[in-house]
Amino acid sequence: MAYLPLSVPSLKGNELRYVSDCIATEWVSSVGAYVSQFEKKLAEYVNANFAVACVNGTSALHVSLLASGIQPQGEVIVPTVSFIATANVVKYCSAYPLFMDCDDGLNLDVEKLEFFLKNHCEKTKLGLRNKETGRIIQAIIPVHVFGYPADMKTIVRLATEYHLTVIEDATESLGSHYLNEDGGKKFTGTLGLIGCFSFNGNKLITTGGGGMMVTQDQKTSQRLKYLTTQAKDDELYFVHNEVGYNYRLTNIQAAVGLAQLEQIDLFIETKRKNLSLYKKLLDNIEELSFIEEPKNTRSNCWHYALIVANSGEKNRDGLMACLKENHIESRPIWRSLHCQKPFHDSFSFHIEKANYYADKILNIPCSSNLRETDVERVAACIQKYYGRHSRT
């Protein structure tokens, strides 16, 4: 039986043509028409004023923190349910991540956040002081986990009230958006000061590796470009007045990205359709449920987070092993960040739900080129694990 991976790219559009163009014209390096075009088209797609390409999602987050003036020894609020990069970048700035719990959608629990800000922090001349650690909290990085939009309305309201910068980790949620009452859309990544995207191989669209930052603020976008291109203050004499980074995306990568972006609506449609099919095929198994799309949002459905109840002999890791035996890849949710060694000296605020979900979430195959028959095969395997007959 063919191996069914969790999430792999689909490169059947103009990727080869655009990359061939880079080779033919010998524009292969870190400037070129595809870089500017990819930036322009991505900004248009999410309705942002500016976009700056960079080498990956991690560097996007790192430079965003630097551009927003994060100071060493300060704190940055990070959800404990995320990929390690969200917290690592805080360490890159010699600051401390401060971990918050998740809600039932696996996103930042805004009620707990508000309670924490109100009762455990104090406004001082230097900024918002965390009374538990004595450190100044400077920013917050909400993550749109698995593509599902976090409650940005509340997060932005609280950030404004407490003078915190918002950097969105939208690396998993390109295309996910909020539906306004007037029928308009507001895309994840465009609600904070800066939004960060990733084009790693497993993300919704890929450039092999790559990233992008979007912002509505021109000064911020100039600062992001400056920091990602070695902080060069004189093009000819190579004068640098600050430490910068070589975080550029190449023209070849951008060529792939542009071709991928042309197909994004199709990818999202396929992802959403396959998720519906999974739900339909598994709705008889009461031990299973899916993370739900928050109200008034439309997710890109990047990952299909399955909630597996522990019941008797049956549990998440048992299901994962069964799928593996049948050559189907699945993956548990990340180890919570507050439990990871590099952050043992960080403060975390009443983590409960994240601990509850830690052994229950399983991601199942969700590639944008997944066929209906693939979904049926996974569902049949899951039915077998629970001793039910396949419904297909």
| 172 makes contact with ligand PLP (CB under 6 A) | yes
> Which part of the chain contacts ligand PLP (CB under 6 A), choosing from 52-60, 279-287, 290-298, 357-365?
52-60
Of 360, 295, 13, 320, the C-alpha closest to 148 is: 295
The phi and psi torsions of 297 (rounded to 5 degrees) equal -130, 160
Site for ligand PLP in 98-127 (CB under 6 A): none
| 365 makes contact with ligand PLP (CB under 6 A) | no
| 192 makes contact with ligand PLP (CB under 6 A) | no
| 175 makes contact with ligand PLP (CB under 6 A) | no
Binding-site string for ligand PLP from residue 209 to residue 238, where x marks contact by CB under 6 A and - marks none: --x---------------------------
In the chain the first and final C-alpha atoms are separated, in Å, by: 18
Please, which residue, 86 or 253, has the CB nearer to ligand PLP? 86
DSSP secondary structure code for residue 363 in this structure = E
Q: How far apart are CA 348 and CA 344, in angstroms?
A: 10
Q: How far apart are CA 198 and CA 213, in angstroms?
A: 9
For the bound state, the minimum distance from the C-beta of residue 274 to ligand PLP, rounded and expressed in Å, comes to 20
Which of residues 68, 86, 138, 336 is near ligand PLP by CB under 6 A? Answer: 86
> Which part of the chain contacts ligand PLP (CB under 6 A), choosing from 55-63, 147-155, 246-254, 312-320?
55-63
Q: How far apart are CA 308 and CA 321, in angstroms?
A: 13
Please, which residue, 102 or 143, has the CB nearer to ligand PLP? 143
| 171 makes contact with ligand PLP (CB under 6 A) | yes
The answer to whether 81 and 354 are in contact (CB under 8 A) is yes
Please, which residue, 252 or 381, has the CB nearer to ligand PLP? 252
DSSP secondary structure code for residue 337 in this structure = G
| Bridge pairing between strands 331-332 and 361-364 | antiparallel
> Which part of the chain contacts ligand PLP (CB under 6 A), choosing from 25-33, 54-62, 282-290, 379-387?
54-62
| 56 makes contact with ligand PLP (CB under 6 A) | yes
What phi-psi label fits residue 357: left (phi over 0), alpha (psi between -120 and 50 degrees) or beta?
alpha
> Which part of the chain contacts ligand PLP (CB under 6 A), choosing from 2-10, 53-61, 70-78, 94-102?
53-61
Please, which residue, 42 or 143, has the CB nearer to ligand PLP? 143
Binding footprint of ligand PLP, residue count (CB under 6 A):
14
User: Which residue is associated with the tokens 């698995």?
Assistant: 146
| 85 makes contact with ligand PLP (CB under 6 A) | yes
| 200 makes contact with ligand PLP (CB under 6 A) | yes
Please, which residue, 63 or 288, has the CB nearer to ligand PLP? 63
Q: How far apart are CA 152 and CA 171, in angstroms?
A: 15
For the bound state, the minimum distance from the C-beta of residue 327 to ligand PLP, rounded and expressed in Å, comes to 25
For the bound state, the minimum distance from the C-beta of residue 323 to ligand PLP, rounded and expressed in Å, comes to 22
The answer to whether 96 and 345 are in contact (CB under 8 A) is yes
The phi and psi torsions of 255 (rounded to 5 degrees) equal -60, -45
For the bound state, the minimum distance from the C-beta of residue 188 to ligand PLP, rounded and expressed in Å, comes to 12
Count, residues in the chain: 392
Which of residues 70, 106, 143, 285 is near ligand PLP by CB under 6 A? Answer: 143
> Closest residue (Cβ) to ligand PLP?
57
What tokens were used for 311?
């019941």
User: Which residue is associated with the tokens 């952050």?
Assistant: 343
> Which part of the chain contacts ligand PLP (CB under 6 A), choosing from 67-75, 168-176, 311-319, 339-347?
168-176
Of 46, 277, 287, the C-alpha closest to 175 is: 46
The answer to whether 125 and 151 are in contact (CB under 8 A) is no
> Which part of the chain contacts ligand PLP (CB under 6 A), choosing from 44-52, 64-72, 82-90, 251-259?
82-90
Q: How far apart are CA 100 and CA 270, in angstroms?
A: 33
Angle between helices 57-67 and 85-92 (to 10 degrees): 40
Residues at the interface with ligand PLP (CB under 6 A): 56-58, 82-83, 85-86, 143, 169, 171-172, 198, 200, 211
